Structure 1
């Protein structure tokens, strides 16, 4: 059975809620799913999954949430080659913050790309100004992401 890791960076729990809401969709598509709230670099290198989904909110001035900051810092400092990493990314933000909207997710996406990771499809950016519950946008996006990219394994 293929594996999927959902790596979460959350401030108030919204990104974790998204992860918990989309987990059954991947299980139905044939994946063994784990959710990681305190990820380490080893989670995507030494113990890599077949597929990874990042659910990342933004804090401060477009910064990473605390739980994912050490993970991003490790990538920045250790410069791992991530050519085998296939991932999707859901970024949560609030467009009233202007230029820093979805900054955590956008920064992580750029960092992963700089290290050779392969994003599958487009990044989803969920705007709190438009979508009260982020999973209202994330669930249909994940359903389409699985189907459009041939990610079903059952």
Structure 2
């Protein structure tokens, strides 16, 4: 199975989590394309069987500035990803209440609109509770790999 891993980060933490996911997925035998910076052309060219997005939340629930062009392009071009499995790792701070992990939620909702299928419920990593989100994500990444393996 070929997996594309995308990330949108403010301070680099989401990129770090994405890089950890890439390593764990490769160790599990998946073919992985790390698409950075995220772009629709690169995603479509990679033609992955599955997608993993790692995205931070900034401001009042917005996507990181560097990730916005990808997100807007994906909305505008609207390439159908029918039945393509995906998952999202969202990073945020629960102190922000209603906007906690909203960047990840936006990506999740767009992928669902594009007819992709959520392979595993979104992982929400709280910056106020963890100092090593890449380590915190490992068990979830392993479950994501197992979910993809059941699809092959």
Question: Is TM-score (shorter-chain normalized) higher than 0.5?
Answer: yes
Task: Give, in whole Å, the separation in 2 of the partners of 1:130 and 1:78.
Answer: 37
Q: Which runs of 5+ in 2 are unaligned?
A: none
Give the paired residue count: 151
Q: Partners in 2 of 1:40 and 1:85 — Cα distance?
A: 18
Q: Secondary structure at the match of 1:45?
A: helix
Structure with more of its chain in helix, by fraction: 2
Answer whether contact 1:10 1:56 (CA < 8 A) is retained: yes
Residue 84 of structure 1, CA deviation: 4.5
Contact 1:52–1:86 under 8 Å retained in 2 = yes
1:53–1:89 contact (8 Å) kept in structure 2: yes
Q: Is the 8 A contact 1:58 1:93 kept in 2?
A: yes
Aligned to 2:123: 124
For residue 74 of structure 2, give the secondary structure of its aligned residue in structure 1.
Answer: helix
Mean CA deviation greater in 27-36 or 64-73: 27-36
Shift in Å, 1:150:
4.8
Aligned residue number for residue 89 of structure 1: 88
- Asked if the contact 2:39–2:70 (Cα under 8 Å) also holds between the matched residues in 1, the reply is yes
Corresponding position of 1:47? 46
Q: Is the 8 A contact 1:45 1:82 kept in 2?
A: no
Moved more, 23-32 or 50-59: 23-32
Question: Which residue number in structure 2 is paired with residue 151 of structure 1?
Answer: 149
| Superposition deviation, residue 13 in structure 1 | 0.4
Structure 1 unaligned residues grouped into runs of 5+: none
CA contact (8 A) 1:9 1:64 kept: yes
- Post-superposition Cα deviations, 1:114-153, rounded to whole Å, max 9, x if no partner, equal 1211110111010111112111221111112222x15279
TM-score scaled by structure 1?
A: 0.89
- Mean Cα displacement is larger for which, 75-84 or 7-16? 75-84
SS at match of 1:6: strand
| Structure 2 residue matching 1:107: 3-state secondary structure | helix
Would the alpha carbon gap of residues 43 and 86 (structure 1) be closer, same or farther in structure 2, given more than 3 Å must change?
A: farther
Backbone CA RMSD of aligned residues: 1.8
TM-score normalised to structure 2 length: 0.90
